[in-house]
Amino acid sequence: MEPIETVALVGAGTMGSGVAQKAAQEGFKVQLIDRDQESIDRGIGLISSTLDEAVNRRIMTPEKVQEVMNNIIPIVETNNVDIATDIVIEAVFEDFDVKSGVFDIIDKSCAEHTVIATNTSSLSVNELSKSTNRPEKFIGLHFFYHPAKNRLVEIIPGNETSIETLERVEQFCKRIGKVPITCKDRPGFVVNRFFVPWLNEAVLILEDGLGTPDQIDSIAREVFEIGMGPFALMNATGLPIALHSSDYLSEQLETPRFRGASLLRKTVNSRNSWVLEETNEESEHKEAIKNRLLGVTFLVAAQIVQENICRLEDVDCGAKVGLRWQKGPFELMNEIGIKESCQIVREYSILAGKGLEIPHLLEDRVENFEFKLVEVKMQGSIATVQINRPEVMNALNEEVVRQLKEVIEDLNENNDVTTIVFEGAGKAFIAGADVKFFVEKLKQNRFEDILTFTQAGHDLLNSIEKSNKTTIALTTGITYGGGLEFALSCDYRIGSKKTEFRFPETGIGIYPGLGGTQRMSRMVGVELARWAILAGNKIDGALSHQLGIIDEFTSETDLENTILKLAGLEKSGTKFRGQPSEITGQIDTIMRFYGDNALPEILSGRTPVGFDAEDPFVIRQFKSLNRAAPIAIQMASQLINESVKTNLDAGLQLELDRLEKIFSTNDALEGLSALIESRRPTYQNS
């Protein structure tokens, strides 16, 4: 499969310029095309404004911004697109005839291999594909606002879209940092199918006099754990969009309930927005409002799955990533209780009428929905295991660990499998363990649950470490804490320029408890383990390769070949060599600063002999150490030291044995809580 390397966006409006910006940020050369220079200049201005905001928020440096801008190539007129472009994404006005005209030009202007993608939120991909002479290379991409920031993209293959086209586009979307969900070409696709009726239902509730816009928004924010309610959202995105989308869904799905509410139509015609007056007065119809918003969401979500548009995991992913809901519809049903949720849907179905009969998926249902958080794909003798929690960067929780353990046990016993590759969905491999779990258990005084979870994590990693298969971690993204510990248990690690390793534990009041203090020191030596763990330094892909943490440093387009190169190899005899692969000037400095002789000095806050207190490296290390919890640093340091005195199994047991001590400290609860609350912790060394 040839990867997509060259990109063009037709349409320099908000969506087109946003997608172009995102692709340019990820290193692609992007042609930004529109009908005249004025339109292109406006699009470039939108990109520049968004990037300036990123600089002001210290998300980007001015140098990175300049690099992004240099990747954008402005072009007037679609027929001037580079003939050899791999993918051309149309992002013009949501009008069938306008889009069809663009496709005709692209068809005539580009090479046979070029994929044509339409960024549409409502139009039929199958119908649009008929406007081209390459339906097998035509596909739908529904990017969400703002496309440079929102990570969700719905991929909609047409009936004639080839498997190769789908795979190329999925890979491209992942490379530009998107979380793709693939769905069938049905009105509303996935997210808008339930989100638009949710917005319209809020207006119908208002029409029925059950509450004011502010009261309805307040209830919606509480129930769905969101930042903005339906009326505030419509004000932000535009009431005409909500009206048009509602009418479209109603017509296409033959569902009268979805037709734009008369009050929404009246407000649009008057060119007004919703008036939101803050009030502390709660609606006396709170339960009815809540149940109607939940009812429409649950019913339509079930319809989506019942019609095989996508999986229930994708519905929830769309809600959490695309809409930033804390929980998806199916997760909410489980939380409320299936019996009560089905009753809510039953009552709503009676109220809503035609087209909204209770789905068979919910009729007489008694069991909770099960989420498949770990997926396995086979290609010959290679099994790829994907952890699928992109909304939380694949953080490990009890259910993920349980499902991983079952999958690995099955694969270890499968004689047809020689190699197991682990990857994460979205931009992260695994961003650590689910911190909320630790905080909840500490507040409930249930340390035994933390110990059980951590023991299960150790069992999982040990089953990978001792697997009779070749195990490979695809660490081409964010890999923090428990994710890095997971990767270290594998035989081999593959990295790229997007690799970012880090042990953040001491900064949040604990130490790496899934083998980090033991495997890291055995791999690169105690000095470098101290640098990585005590101060929580970030390690990029190139440095990881020099240290020997990753075995192959490759481009994202060559991952398949790199995997094949490692597949089936025997266990690495040099995995735990206790020293870096090479010693550069930077690595030598780190080893001296964190050496046995210097360690007492730096832990006492003194600059060790041979170093300048004004050296940027020294300043940075002390800054990181001073932000960490002293108890966590002390215990992590002791465990690292133990790694040279014990075998691996004994060292791992020491981590478990000391777990209660670290989690019983005030600093552990403070550090973990501060992370959730997005604030800097205050440690008392207690």
Taking only the tens place, the pLDDT of each residue in 351-363 is: 999 999 999 999 9
Domain boundaries, the chain: 7-182, 191-352, 374-676
C-alpha span between 461 and 453 (Å, rounded): 12
Residue 1 has pLDDT above 80, yes or no: no
With 0-12 / 13-18 / 19 or more C-beta atoms within 10 angstroms meaning exposed / middle / buried, residue 59 is exposed
Whether the Cβ atoms of residue 390 and residue 425 lie closer than 8 Å to each other: yes
Residue 638 has pLDDT above 90, yes or no: yes
b/e string for 590-624 if b means 16 or more Cβ within 10 A? bbebbbeebbeebeeeebbeebeeeeeebeebbeb
- Mean pLDDT for the stretch of residues 662-679: 97
pLDDT for 364: 86
Whether the Cβ atoms of residue 71 and residue 24 lie closer than 8 Å to each other: yes
- Tokens coding 228: 């903005």
List, in order, residues 6 or more apart from 220 with CB less than 8 Å away. Answer: 202, 226, 229, 230, 293
pLDDT for 122: 86
C-alpha span between 445 and 146 (Å, rounded): 42
Helices 447-465/398-412 angle, 10° precision: 30
- Mean pLDDT for the stretch of residues 338-342: 97
Torsions phi, psi for 180 (to 5 deg):
-90, 140
| Least confident segment among 242-256, 435-449, 561-575 | 561-575
- Tokens coding 418: 């020689």
Which DSSP category does 369 fall into? P
pLDDT in tens, 299-327: 999 999 999 999 999 999 999 999 999 99
- 568 falls in which pLDDT band (50, 70, 90)? confident
Alpha-carbon radius of gyration of the chain: 27
- Tokens coding 618: 């020294």
pLDDT for 345: 98
Looking from the CA of 487 toward its CB, the CA atoms found within 13 Å total 34
pLDDT for 189: 98
Residue 194 has pLDDT above 80, yes or no: yes
Q: Which amino acid is at 565?
A: K
Percent of the chain with pLDDT over 70: 100
pLDDT for 281: 86
Please give the span between the terminal C-alpha atoms of the chain, in angstroms, as a whole number. 56
pLDDT in tens, 473-493: 999 999 999 999 999 999 999
pLDDT for 177: 92
Residue 207 has pLDDT above 90, yes or no: yes
Query: Is the pLDDT higher at 646 or at 1?
Result: 646
Give the residue among 523, 413, 403 at the shortest CA–CA distance from 468: 413
Residue 7 has pLDDT above 80, yes or no: yes
- 44 falls in which pLDDT band (50, 70, 90)? very high
pLDDT for 597: 95
- Mean pLDDT for the stretch of residues 402-424: 97
C-alpha span between 588 and 528 (Å, rounded): 10
Look up the pTM and report it. Answer: 0.92
C-alpha span between 473 and 364 (Å, rounded): 43
pLDDT for 570: 87
Rounded to the nearest integer, the mean pLDDT of the chain is: 96
Query: Is the pLDDT higher at 311 or at 572?
Result: 311
CATH fold for domain 374-676: 2-enoyl-CoA Hydratase; Chain A, domain 1 (3.90.226)
List, in order, residues 6 or more apart from 221 with CB less than 8 Å away. Answer: 227, 228, 229
- 280 falls in which pLDDT band (50, 70, 90)? confident
C-alpha span between 102 and 573 (Å, rounded): 57
Residue 144 has pLDDT above 80, yes or no: yes
List, in order, residues 6 or more apart from 38 with CB less than 8 Å away. Answer: none
What does the chain come to in residues?
686
pLDDT for 424: 97
Residue 572 has pLDDT above 90, yes or no: no
pLDDT for 573: 82
| 3-class DSSP state of 409 | helix
| Topology alike, domains 7-182 and 374-676 | no
Looking from the CA of 446 toward its CB, the CA atoms found within 13 Å total 11
C-alpha span between 503 and 537 (Å, rounded): 7
Q: Please report the beta strands in 64-184, taking only residues with DSSP state E, as ranges in sequence order.
A: 72-76, 87-90, 115-118, 138-143, 152-157, 179-182
Any bridge partners for residue 73, and if so which? 31
List, in order, residues 6 or more apart from 233 with CB less than 8 Å away. Answer: 199
pLDDT for 158: 97
List, in order, residues 6 or more apart from 606 with CB less than 8 Å away. Answer: none
- Mean pLDDT for the stretch of residues 376-387: 97
pLDDT for 497: 93
pLDDT in tens, 418-474: 999 999 998 899 999 999 999 999 999 999 999 999 999 999 999 999 999 999 999
Q: For every residue of 160-206, which 3-state class applies, written as one string?
A: CCCHHHHHHHHHHHHHCCCEEEECCCCCCCCHHHHHHHHHHHHHHHH
- Mean pLDDT for the stretch of residues 492-519: 97
Q: Which amino acid is at 406?
A: E
Residue 279 has pLDDT above 90, yes or no: no
| 3-class DSSP state of 672 | helix
CATH fold for domain 7-182: Rossmann fold (3.40.50)
Whether the Cβ atoms of residue 311 and residue 305 lie closer than 8 Å to each other: yes
What CATH number labels 191-352? 1.10.1040.50
